[in-house]
């Protein structure tokens, strides 16, 4: 294999830039990070290279680091360099929530992504945002209930069978391996690839406790100032209420019921499906397609209208599952003590 090089060897004109990598994790205050901080920084202090909203070329960054070779390093280096042509800011923030993998694939390939960027950007600072695992699972469940591949129940989402947590099974349903959220392993690998204090860890619970102090911590990491200092908890993403989630799950159960799917199993577009369906099955096909069509606008209505007037919430995990998960992660998180910034965070992550 041809020897890989850093971005500065491919593009020496980038020497002197300060790179910051948001390594993840999603659902841990990232909306607040992006919308309420990064987009409000003084424009002459930091350039925000956001792979989620930028060009197709930038989105290739995530696709290419799976191939750990010279061509991939060169290609990603060229993409970044092309986006920085004419950019005067010294500090560059590279955003990508999947740099450390995704919970939907059990964080597979996480080390490749982190190792790739630690070699490509050898002096970069990595920023990791965490949320205690049990609340993270509840949030992911709420998120999955809105989509096309929504699970039918919390047990299906957590892969609980015969009262035991199982590994994630393949299939077209959003689910997780509920026992794979090894934050110590994540922090240790990041520490290894971004040594000398270049790993910065943020906790969502700090944001929930004091948004101003949380913001100041980020500004100190980035060595930047913000144009709008009016930041508060109300500007964070609260998501759907539990009632709204279970309305969406009910719609999903109905549309995926055996009775309806047996009468609409062609997988064809609506007009084509009508022409190939028995007359008796047409009302049921129409009913199912209406539910599928209405699910996304219903999700938006519940979140933006219904929940503003009737916000009824409860623990979507259920007491039994929460107690089991807290016991499991209490032991796992005991290795994280050196990363906790204060006793309050320690108490939350050790589920005291």
Query: β-pairing, 164-165 with 160-161?
Result: antiparallel
* Beta strand segments in 175-269, E: 199-203
pLDDT at 145: 81
70-83 and 110-120 helices, crossing angle to 10°: 60
Q: Is the pLDDT of residue 52 over 60?
A: no
pLDDT at 100: 61
Domains of the chain: 7-132+182-236+333-342 (3.40.50.300), 242-309 (no CATH)
| Distance of alpha carbon 4 from alpha carbon 137, whole angstroms | 38
- If one compares 226 and 347, the residue with the highest pLDDT of the two is 347
Task: Name the nearest CA neighbour of 347 among 145, 191, 201, 209.
Answer: 209
Q: Is the pLDDT of residue 336 over 70?
A: yes
pLDDT at 64: 47
- Lowest-pLDDT choice from 4-8, 22-26, 134-138, 236-240: 236-240
pLDDT at 55: 44
Q: Is the pLDDT of residue 181 over 70?
A: yes
| Distance of alpha carbon 205 from alpha carbon 193, whole angstroms | 26
Q: Which residue has the tokens 């964070």?
A: 236
- If one compares 22 and 50, the residue with the highest pLDDT of the two is 22
Q: Is the pLDDT of residue 12 over 50?
A: yes
Instruction: Report the percent of the chain where pLDDT is more than 90.
Output: 26
Q: Is the pLDDT of residue 108 over 70?
A: no
Averaged pLDDT of the chain: 82
- State both tokens at 268: 């064809």
What mean pLDDT comes out for the span 133-143?
91
**Each residue of 224-238: pLDDT tens digit?**
888 765 455 445 556
- If one compares 266 and 93, the residue with the highest pLDDT of the two is 93
pLDDT at 96: 62
- State both tokens at 82: 């092309």
pLDDT at 111: 56
HSE (side-chain half, CA atoms, 13 Å) at 259: 6
Q: Is the pLDDT of residue 206 over 90?
A: yes
**Each residue of 258-304: pLDDT tens digit?**
888 888 876 778 878 888 888 888 888 889 888 888 888 888 898 88
What mean pLDDT comes out for the span 158-173?
77
Length of the chain: 352
The verdict on pTM exceeding 0.85 is no
Q: Is the pLDDT of residue 1 over 50?
A: no
- If one compares 52 and 248, the residue with the highest pLDDT of the two is 248
pLDDT at 231: 55
**Each residue of 59-80: pLDDT tens digit?**
455 444 455 566 777 888 888 8
| Residues 178 and 159: beta-carbon distance below 8 Å | yes
């Amino acid at each position: 294999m041809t020897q890989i090089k850093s971005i500065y060897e491919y593009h020496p004109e980038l020497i002197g830039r300060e790179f910051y990598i948001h390594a993840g994790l999603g659902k841990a205050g990232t909306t607040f990070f992006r919308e309420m901080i990064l987009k409000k920084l003084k424009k002459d202090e930091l350039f925000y290279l956001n792979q989620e909203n930028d060009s197709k070329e930038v989105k290739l960054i995530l696709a290419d680091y799976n191939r750990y070779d010279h061509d991939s390093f060169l290609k990603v280096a060229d993409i970044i360099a092309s986006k920085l042509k004419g950019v005067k800011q010294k500090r560059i923030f590279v955003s990508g929530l999947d740099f450390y993998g995704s919970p939907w694939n059990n964080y597979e390939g996480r080390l490749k992504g982190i190792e790739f960027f630690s070699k490509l950007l050898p002096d970069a600072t990595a920023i990791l945002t965490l949320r205690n695992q049990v609340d993270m699972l509840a949030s992911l469940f709420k998120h999955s209930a809105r989509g096309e591949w929504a699970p039918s129940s919390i047990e299906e989402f957590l892969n609980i069978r015969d009262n035991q947590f199982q590994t994630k099974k393949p299939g077209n349903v959003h689910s997780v391996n509920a026992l794979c959220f090894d934050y110590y392993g994540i922090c240790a690998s990041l520490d290894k690839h971004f040594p000398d204090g270049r790993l910065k860890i943020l906790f969502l619970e700090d944001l929930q406790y004091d948004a101003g102090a949380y913001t100041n911590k980020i500004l100190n990491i980035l060595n930047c100032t913000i144009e709008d200092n009016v930041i508060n908890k109300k500007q964070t993403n609260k998501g759907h209420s539990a009632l709204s989630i279970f309305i969406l799950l009910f719609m999903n159960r109905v549309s995926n019921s055996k009775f309806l799917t047996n009468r609409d199993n062609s997988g064809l577009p609506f007009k084509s499906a009508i022409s190939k369906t028995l007359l008796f099955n047409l009302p049921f096909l129409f009913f199912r397609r209406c539910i599928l069509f209405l699910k996304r606008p219903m999700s938006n209505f519940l979140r933006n209208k219904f929940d503003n007037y009737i916000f009824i919430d409860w623990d979507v995990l259920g007491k039994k599952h929460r107690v089991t998960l807290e016991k499991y992660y209490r032991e796992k998180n005991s290795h994280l003590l050196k990363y906790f910034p204060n006793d309050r965070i320690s108490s939350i992550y050790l589920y005291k």
